[in-house]
Amino acid sequence: LIHQRPQSARDMREALHRLRGRSAVTAIPSSVPPITPSSVSPPLQADTTATPAQPSTMPSRPTPPPVGTMIRRLITGSPVRSVAFSPNGKWLLDGHDDYTVGVWEVATGEQKVTLRGHESTVRTVAFSPDGKLIATGSDDETIRIWRTSDWQTLQVMHHPGCPIESVSFSPDGRYLAAGGWGNAITLYLLKQEKIEPIGLFSCPFVHSLSFAPNGSLLAAGCYDGAIYLWQIADQQALDPISGFNTFIYSVAFNPASTIIAASSGTTIRLWRLKDRYPLDTLQGHTAPVRELAFSPRAPLLASVSEDRSARFWNVEHGQPLPLILEHSAGVSCLNFSPDGQLLATGSHDGRICLWQAPTEQ
């Protein structure tokens, strides 16, 4: 465990790397192509060895493949740090160690666009709820906002001394929260195509941000092992939830905004929000749990870990499902499609897998 608070963002990143045990494959390109603020690169091709969907016996109502089937595998060529589906489920974003953001067409598995402009690893990517904007955050201490109409940069926000670890749009699309290895979270207000900072929330180094689906709260998983909470209506801080002795990798709300989950080390914990009552402690991973996500269709929680696996948990009973999805390297990120049918997982080996997700307990 880390016992001393780092004095700078660089110290924090070095301490974080030591704690992770460098289980991740760090791939810094030896030759990085010239960076332009809003350049678009030719598409890549998907791996054609991916498992195809099963043929349908009812053309008007296709039968989905069995749960756990790998629908498609996408080859990016660089460790994947973040993935996000578009609200309509058509596109998938990914952020890489090679400083780029990939835009993939889910139906075909083809990479349509490569967004360039960041000057270091892209740690976090997100679509706005209306699908018109993309937010990306990087170790280069900037947040970039992109239009999906032409895939061009709309705005760049600089955060000196603060590599960005997480960005999150509010469910109504009015706000964007961003945080990283500084001592504050910035809350931005979105007005048409203009993004303005309107608030700062103080907290230790931030690794994960999440808005409650009902839009009432913002949660931050922080270096000191606490979950910090703010009311969005008045931007007031609530009492933090304490549950870990070291930094939190990921925080997530269930669709009803009644439960919050967080991971630290190999452990996942759940709390009831209204009274902070601890519900369950979920264990089964054998290496750090890097990200969590609740299914939009069932009382299920998905988790990915440096142990090269993705797992599913029944949150009503606090039990694991007998389904483990395996990668060839540590898994760093995940995201459910809006309809809950697919789960995207990204790995340090540069691969993104699209899986048929469970939709029942």
Taking the C-alpha atoms of residue 281 and residue 89, their distance in angstroms, rounded to an integer, is 32
In CATH, 36-53+66-356 is 2.130.10.10: yes
What pLDDT does 63 receive?
A: 81
Minimal CA–CA distance to 268: which of 239, 241, 248?
A: 248
Full DSSP string of 218-247: EEEEETTSEEEEEETTT-PEEEEEE--SS-
Binned at pLDDT 50, 70 and 90, residue 22 comes out as: very low
pTM above 0.75, yes or no: yes
What pLDDT does 17 receive?
A: 46
Residues 205-245 have pLDDT tens digits of 999 999 999 999 999 999 999 999 999 999 999 999 998 99
Residues 271-305 have pLDDT tens digits of 999 999 999 999 999 999 999 999 999 999 999 99
* 42 against 199, higher pLDDT: 199
Residues 65-81 have pLDDT tens digits of 999 999 999 999 999 99
Q: What are phi and psi of 181, to 5 degrees?
A: -90, 35
Taking the C-alpha atoms of residue 352 and residue 341, their distance in angstroms, rounded to an integer, is 16
Taking the C-alpha atoms of residue 284 and residue 267, their distance in angstroms, rounded to an integer, is 8
Residues 322-352 have pLDDT tens digits of 999 999 999 999 999 999 999 999 999 999 9
What pLDDT does 64 receive?
A: 81
The chain-wide mean pLDDT, for the chain, equals 87
* 85 against 5, higher pLDDT: 85
Binned at pLDDT 50, 70 and 90, residue 193 comes out as: confident
Taking the C-alpha atoms of residue 132 and residue 130, their distance in angstroms, rounded to an integer, is 6
Identify the sign of the CA torsion 206, 220, 142, 111. positive
Taking the C-alpha atoms of residue 138 and residue 3, their distance in angstroms, rounded to an integer, is 27
Asked if residue 28 lies in contact with residue 348, where contact means CB atoms within 8 angstroms, the answer is no
Taking the C-alpha atoms of residue 215 and residue 199, their distance in angstroms, rounded to an integer, is 16
What pLDDT does 5 receive?
A: 40
Minimal CA–CA distance to 141: which of 167, 153, 159?
A: 159
Asked if residue 120 lies in contact with residue 140, where contact means CB atoms within 8 angstroms, the answer is yes
Which of 36-45, 92-101, 174-183, 207-216 is predicted least confidently?
36-45
